[in-house]
A and B are shown apart, each in its own frame.
Chain A
Amino acid sequence: MAVIEVENLSKVFRISQKEPGLGGAFKALVRPRYTDKAAVAGISFTVEPAEIVGYIGVNGAGKSTTIKMLTGVLVPSGGQVRVLGRDPHKQRVANANDIGVVFGQRTQLWWDLALIESLNLVAKIYQVDPARYRQLLDQFAETLELKPLLSVPIRQMSLGQKMRAELAATLIHEPKIVYLDEPTIGLDLIVKERIREFIKQQNQTRGTTVILTTHDLGDIEELCKRVLIIDAGQLIYDGPLATIKARFGKFRSITFETLQDVGGFQQVPDGAETLSTDERKLVLRFDRTLTTASKVAKAVMDQLEVVDFSLAEPDLGSVVKQIYGGALREPAA
C-alpha cells in the first residue's frame, strides 16, 4: 500500500502586482492588484514504502511547495494528499510524529545551544525511548562523525557540520517518511558523500521512505531509482531514472588531442557534430543510434594525427538539461 498518495494536487499563491518605483509602491498600497500563480497545478503520484524518490525541477518549478503540502505546512488549494492514510494538514500532530523533514537552507536546531541539547529535546518531543535514543545517538554520532560536535553550539558549526547535525535531528525518532529538501546544497564532495551514504543506510536498514529534492544530480544518481520531474507546477515525468537516461542519453562526446592544429579537420563524420575546437583539441558529439565511437574515431584519425582521445559517458546533468529544455514534450525517437 502506498505511503504517499497525491491526487490532482494544486497550490495557487496570490501575488501582489507592483509597478516599479516609489509611485508604484504607493499605488499598490492604495489600490492593490493581485494575480494568481499556480505553483503546483494538478499533480498526481504515489510513493511506496521504502522507496527513495528524487523530485527534481528548475527553481520555482514547485518542488518545495509540494513538499510543504506533503508535510502539512501548506494547505493545498485543490486536490488531495494522504500521507500514511492521513490528511497531513488536518492531522498535523499525528503526521508530524511519523515524518522527518530537512529544509536545506533552514535549521530546526537551537542556534545558540550545543547540538546535544537540540538532540535531547527532539528525542523528548518525539517521545523516543531513552535507551533507544542512546543507541541511536551512538550510531548517528559514529556514522555522521558527530562525536566532537555534540558540545558545539550550532552557530559555531560549518555548513557541512550543520547539515550532518540536521540529519541526525531529523532521523533520531526513526520517522517512516523523510523529506529532504536540498540536503546537500553548498556542501563539499566528502560531506555530500557521507550524507548520501547515511541516507542510503537509513533506507536499507530501517525501510525509511525518502523524498529527495535536489539540484545536485549526483544525489539522484547515487540514491534514486525513480524520479519525478516537475516543470511549471506540472509533473512531466514519473518513472525510472534508467529510462530517461536511456532515452536522452543517446549522445556521447569524444575528445581528441592532436599533434597538429585541428584547423585541418574538415569532414565531420555522419551522425556526429563538432562541439568545440581548440588549437590541438577537438570535441565531437555523436548519436550512438546513428554511428559508433570507432567510426567517429577512424574518421578523425584519417584526417588528423591523434595523440590521445577519451570517450565521455552521458551524465545526468546533460539529460536533465534536455528535459528542462522541453525534450519530454517531443515524441520519443
Chain B
Amino acid sequence: MNSALVSPRRPSAVNMLGYTALAGMETKTFLVYHWSVVVDLIKNLIATIVFVYFWRALYAQTPAIAGLSLDATLAYVLLARIFQPLGSFMLVSEFGHQMRQGALAHIQLRPLDIQLAYYVQNLASVVVALGRQLPVALVALLVFRLRLPTNPAVWGVFILSALLGRSVLFCFDYILGCVAFYTTSAWGLGFAIFGLSLFVGGGLVPLVMLPDWLRPIVLNTPFAQAFYVPISLLSGVAPLSQAPRLLLIQFLWLLGLAPLSRLVFAVAIRRVTVQGG
C-alpha cells in the first residue's frame, strides 16, 4: 500500500460547505427543465388573473368583507400568489418516492445530518421557486397596480416571519413524511394535505374572512404559521404592532416541532425495510 496516496482528510463536525453545496444542487436541478419553468409560469399567471377577477366579482355587491376593502383583499391575494412557494408542501410525497425507489439508503449514507440536509434543500427549492415567481410579481405590480409596503420594518418582519414559518412547516412536513416509512406510499396523503394547506394556510382566502368559530382553529395550524402570518404582515392585514406577538407564536411552534420532528424521524427510520438488492 502506498501511504503517500492515503487521504489527509479530516472531516469537521459541521460541514457547512457540504450543506451549501447540497442547496446549490437543488437550485441547479430546478433550473434544468426549461419547459417546466415556462409551463409553471403560464399556470401561475392564469391563476393570478382568475383570482383577481373572482374577488372583483365578489366585491361588486359589497364594499367590504370582514372589514377588508377590495384593495386590501387584492393586495393580500396578489402577495399570496407571488409568495405562494412559502406554503409549499413536499416531503410527504418525496419520502414515499424515496422509499419506493430505495433512494433513502443513499441519503442515509451521506455523512450529513439528514434533517439539516433536507432543510437546506427545502429552503433552497423555496428560494428558487420564489425567484420563478418574478413574472407574476411584475404582472401584479404593473397590470394590477399592487402597491408594496415602503416601510423597511414591514419587510424586515416579513422576512423573519417567512423564515420562521417556513421552518415550522418544514418540521411538520418532516413528521408527516415519516408516514411513508409505514405505508411506503404517501402520495394520496400528500395530495389531500396539499389541498387542505391551500385553504387552511390562507392561500385562497384571507383567514380573517373565515367564520369566528373556524378562524382560531385554522390560525393555529402550521400552514397558517408558514403562509398566512407572513403574508398578512406584508399586506397590512395584520398591522406591524402585532408582529412581536405573531413572531413569538411562530418561534414557539418551531421550538415544539423541531425536536418532535427529529424524534419522530429517529423512530420511523428504524422501520425502514429496504429488503433485497
Contacts and interface: CB of A to CB of B under 8 A. Distances in A.
Interface of A: 13-14, 39, 50, 59-60, 63-65, 68, 71-75, 92-94, 96-97, 99, 101, 103-108, 110, 112-113, 117, 120-121, 124-129, 132, 153, 173-174, 181-182, 204-207, 213
Contacts of A60: 276
B72 interface: no
A206 B6 contact: yes
Contact of A205 (B1, B11, B112, B276): B1
A106 B106 contact: yes
B32 A125 contact: no
A106 B17 contact: no
Shortest Cβ-Cβ A-B pairs, 6 listed? A207-B1, A174-B7, A124-B21, A96-B111, A64-B277, A125-B18
Contacts of B32: 112-113, 153
B275 A126 contact: no
A105 B102 CA distance: 10
Given A127-B17, A182-B277, 5 more contacts: A50-B1, A73-B104, A97-B9, A126-B18, A173-B7
Contact of A93 (B8, B20, B112, B277): B112
Given A13-B273, A117-B28, A121-B25, A205 B18 contact: no
Given A125-B18, A173-B9, A205 B275 contact: no
A129 B9 contact: yes
Contacts of A124: 15, 17-18, 20-21
Nearest to A135: B5
A65 B1 contact: no
Contact of A96 (B20, B102, B109, B275): B109
Contact of B108 (A92, A125, A181): A92
Contact of B22 (A59, A112, A121, A213): A121
28 contacts: A50-B1, A59-B277, A60-B276, A64-B277, A71-B105, A71-B108, A73-B108, A73-B109, A73-B274, A94-B111, A96-B111, A103-B105, A106-B101, A108-B106, A108-B109, A113-B25, A113-B28, A124-B15, A124-B17, A124-B18, A126-B11, A127-B10, A127-B11, A127-B18, A132-B7, A132-B8, A206-B1, A206-B6
A101 B108 CA distance: 11
Counting chain B residues whose Cβ lies within 8 A of the other chain, the interface size class is 35 or more
Contacts of B25: 110, 113, 117, 121
A239 B273 CA distance: 30
A92 B107 CA distance: 11
Contacts of A101: 105, 109
**Chain B contact residues: over half helix, strand or loop, or mixed?**
loop
Interface of B: 1-2, 5-12, 15, 17-18, 20-22, 24-25, 28-29, 32-33, 101-106, 108-113, 270, 272-277
Nearest to A97: B111
B15 A125 contact: yes
Contacts of A182: 277
A16 B5 CA distance: 50
Contact of B21 (A50, A92, A125): A125
A126 B7 CA distance: 11
Contacts of B102: 103, 106
